[in-house]
Amino acid sequence: MDRHVRFPRPAVAAAALLALVGALLLTLVASPARAAEAPAEPAAVEPAAEPQAAEPTRIMALGDSITGSPGCWRALLWQDMQAAGYTDVDFVGSRTPDGCGFPYDGEHEGHGGILATGIVRDNLLPGWMANANPDVVMMTLGTNDVWSGLPTATILDAYTTMIGQMRAHNPDVQVLVAQILPMTPSGCGDCWNRVVELNAAIPGWAAGLTTAESPLTVVDLWTGFDTATDTSDGVHPNDAGIRKMADTWFSALTGLLDALPEASA
């Protein structure tokens, strides 16, 4: 037996190697690896929804003739708020604006001669709330109740009922409650003292009803107001009086608006 191993000659070996490489290339071309396959198209992505514009804050001024006839402190308040950049507000109510010398957003719920106790007796507030749907209520009531000789406890009971009705419509309603203007009308010598008594009781009453969701904020219209120079008849504010009212309400209302959380889109 021949025990010598015969190695192929260089030319033969090279030819064999080329043939092997060619065969491998043909295999790769005919059967490409899965990793080389074209990638699948990505899933379609829905475009993000456009953010919704926040609704304006709806503000209802609730009161008697001091609020509504013509109630030009509301016009000055609106004008001052616009000038200060508080433009995303809407004054609301079933009553249309009175003339105050310039255009303004003047809807309100000020009814001449009305009593807080009368609003409750006639169950008027639920309808007003449903019509206006306010986020904020600015309440200035009690003048006619005091003038009618009603006791402080009776007036506060009416206030309490109204707060409950406001919250029944909107559990998050923000309420600004006025300590009312001083009064010195002819024929009511005790009105001054009755207003003093009512105003002194309002902060404690409000503290007992305020909640985190629906706070009651007391607004002091009494301090700095002089019936001799700021009213036309000992009760209703004149031009100087409405300017003072507008300034006081501006501080209270903008302070409340600044404290509200930003509306989410």
How far is the C-alpha of 225 from the C-alpha of 241, rounded, in Å?
7
Q: State both tokens at 119.
A: 């609003």
Query: How much is the pLDDT for 93?
Result: 98
Query: How much is the pLDDT for 148?
Result: 97
Least Cα distance to 222 among 159, 146, 149, 119 occurs for: 146
Task: Scan for tokens 């009212």, then name that residue.
Answer: 245
How far is the C-alpha of 162 from the C-alpha of 143, rounded, in Å?
16
Taking the whole predicted model, whether its pTM rises above 0.85 is answered as: no
Residue type, 99: G
The phi and psi torsions of 195 (rounded to 5 degrees) equal -65, -45
Query: How much is the pLDDT for 16?
Result: 46
Domains belonging to the chain, first-starting first, are 114-259 (3.40.50.1110)
Q: What DSSP designation does 11 have? A: H
Question: How would you classify the pairing of strands 136-140 and 174-179?
Answer: parallel
Query: How much is the pLDDT for 90?
Result: 98
How far is the C-alpha of 6 from the C-alpha of 223, rounded, in Å?
123
Please check whether residue 136 is in contact with residue 174, taking contact to mean a CB–CB distance below 8 angstroms: yes
- List the chain pLDDT tens, one digit each, 265 residues: 433 333 343 443 444 444 444 444 444 444 444 444 545 555 666 666 565 668 999 999 999 999 998 999 999 999 999 999 999 999 999 999 988 999 999 999 999 999 999 999 999 999 999 999 999 999 999 999 999 999 999 999 999 999 999 999 999 999 999 999 999 999 999 999 999 999 999 999 999 999 999 999 999 999 999 999 999 999 999 999 999 999 999 999 999 999 987 643 3
Angle CA(184)–CA(67)–CA(86) in degrees, nearest 5?
Answer: 130
CA atoms within 13 A of residue 185's CA, in its CB half-sphere: 14
